[in-house]
Chain A
Amino acid sequence: MPLSVPAVQIRHLVKSYKRGGQVVPVLEDITFDIATGDFVALMGPSGSGKSTLLNLIAGIDRPDSGELIVGGTDIMTLGEAELADWRSRNVGFIFQFYNLMPVLTAFENVELPLLLTGLSSRARREHVDMALSMVGLADRMEHFPSELSGGQQQRVAIARAIITDPAILVADEPTGDLDRASAEDILSLMDRMNTELGKTIIMVTHDPHAAQRARLMKHLEKGVLAD
């Protein structure tokens, strides 16, 4: 069950982009909290700003104004290097197209974030073995992404996302590139990460079926929270 301390606090968040000299508003005055340990689905039509909101929460984009406190840190005050360091320790990323390094094996892909931690090679191996076992790919660790199915690649990506034990997992259309069966597997896995490991998960999805796995749904319409 979600704890009462918010993992994410969003207050009056505004974000716009400049396109061809014109300012295009993307998010307007967004305010809500995400409780620690929650599983939130951000839904809405294309261009509604859900991915932008996810990127802001994950610290890979900057808002124009407002307040954004994630895991107790006001990430708007962090410089680029500090933000990168904060991301490596606090956020796990799950992308629609997995975003694995094609020249690295499953093991090496999962190991990547640990290279920033200063852990010994042996400790890293133990962590990676455990993470790959959790996602059911212990026997595929020496395989390259091109030798794995889409579902397996996404599981490697999930192992990579949890390897540094971040409090928050952000997932942008994690099942968007998968068939129904694989999508179910991935959603079940994410559900386990939420219930068994207590990860706060924020997932952007178009798929109502996927969204039903979340405990909370937030709808965005033209950059504004609809509910």
Chain B
Amino acid sequence: MHLLKLILRNTLRHKLRTLLTVLGLLVAILSFGLLQTVVEAWYSGSKAAAPDRLITRNSVSLVVPLPVHYRDKIRGVDGVRSVAAANWFAGVYQEPKNFFPQFAIDAVPYLAMYPEYRIPEDQLRDFMRDRKGAVVGRKLANTYGFKVGDVVPLKGTIFSGSWEFVVRAIYDGAASTTDTSQFFFHWEYLNESVRTRAPQRANQVGVFVVQVSDVARAAEISKSIDAQFGNSAAETLTETEQAFQIGFVKQTEAIVIAIRIVSFVVIFIILAVMANTMAMTARERMSEYATLKALGFGPGFLGGLIFGESLAIAVTGAMLGVILTFPVADWFARQMGTLFPVFEVSMHTVWSQAVCAAVVGVAAALLPAWRAAQVRIVDGLRAVG
């Protein structure tokens, strides 16, 4: 009780210094949390992947398409429950900066494979009936103000020309981590249009999404699918949806690594600042520590005072930083639009922030506490505070 009282009063002794240190910690913990959230957002696609979904693509590259007739052959592979074609569309909505993912899909099997996309039945029915219909995610709809019935014009990049789609359904995510920033439309509509605009590119598919009946056999089924097309003009590479998503992230891994490093550099900087503060504090109070020692208090009590003060500052800064991370992340996500499909502060990030703050609090106090414990009383009494 007395130790706590001393810690609290010592912490508030130099209010401006404490305030500035807490502020520094707040900014560091907040920055760390945001950067970690960016990293997690990068991996959100792989985390949302289902284990029973495989992706089959051209083994040469993702940009090389596959013939659509592979669909029937894949469907015939033992263990395959369902197959859906999907094409990356990459249209521009009004301006290139308005990026959001667009996919032409085999609507019925595809949407059945993604139960996490929750679509009202009547809207789904309307979408299925309209060959130019589109399903948009809630986040995307909110970002651009899309409503059911709206016409969305897209300027093709991979598939040139102007395209128009009618929003027939808006889907919500089953969980807060479900990506609701996507735009889906019928693959048949794309293929019909391509057939007239560029016939040589018709009947081609970017990837096949394959649902397996037994997750445990996913690897075996992947091999069976690829074996079907061995030594053909378009050999395939089948992998789990998660591996496919991670492959995407790996293309930008250097950025992710850089963000991770920066996030820890921020923590290291605040550790140095905090260590300096605590060293300065302990140096100023050396004669008080010596007096306490002369009165009979042991090194443990002195260590408690220094560690307690350091942790009090660290915990206060961390708490404020963690609390602020949520609204700032919300604001950041809004500014980023649909660039990050899922941008959510996870419990893992909050725990990481707490652990970093604790490490900073303890590490910053280590040297001053050791010095205070070691100082000879006669030397400490001579110290000028």
Contact = CB atoms under 8 A, between A and B. Distances in A.
A103 B296 contact: no
Interface string A64-92: 00000000000000000100110111000
A52 B382 CA distance: 12
A81 B298 contact: yes
A88 B13 CA distance: 27
Q: How large is the interface on A (under 10, 10 to 19, 20 to 34, 35 or more residues)?
A: 20 to 34
Given A95-B291, A99-B288, A115-B2, A55 B296 contact: no
Interface SS majority for chain B: helix
Contact of B295 (A52, A61, A87, A104): A87
Interface in A22-81: 52, 55, 58, 60-61, 81
Contact of B296 (A85, A104, A108): A85
B246 to A, nearest CB: 55
Nearest to A116: B296
Interface string A198-215: 000000000000000000
Q: How large is the interface on B (under 10, 10 to 19, 20 to 34, 35 or more residues)?
A: 20 to 34
B222 interface: no
A113 interface: yes
Nearest to B8: A103
Nearest to A103: B9
B298 A84 contact: yes
Given A99-B287, A101-B288, A103-B13, A60 B6 contact: no
Given A84-B298, A85-B296, A99-B287, A104 B6 contact: yes
A99 B292 CA distance: 9
B295 A88 contact: yes
A95 B296 contact: no
A95 B378 CA distance: 12
B297 interface: yes
A173 to B, nearest CB: 12
Contacts of A108: 2, 5
Contact of A103 (B6, B293, B298, B378): B6
Contacts of B293: 60, 84
Contact of A61 (B10, B296, B297, B376): B376
B5 to A, nearest CB: 8
A209 to B, nearest CB: 25
Interface in A98-123: 99, 101-104, 108, 112-113, 115-116
Given A60-B377, A61-B377, A104-B6, A87 B294 contact: yes
B378 A55 contact: yes
Interface in A114-134: 115-116
A115 B304 CA distance: 15
B23 interface: no
Interface in B255-302: 287-288, 291-298
A60 to B, nearest CB: 4
Interface of B: 2, 5-6, 9-10, 13, 287-288, 291-298, 376-378, 381
8 contacts: A61-B378, A81-B298, A84-B298, A89-B296, A95-B381, A99-B288, A115-B2, A116-B295
3 A-B pairs with least C-beta separation: A88-B296, A103-B9, A60-B377
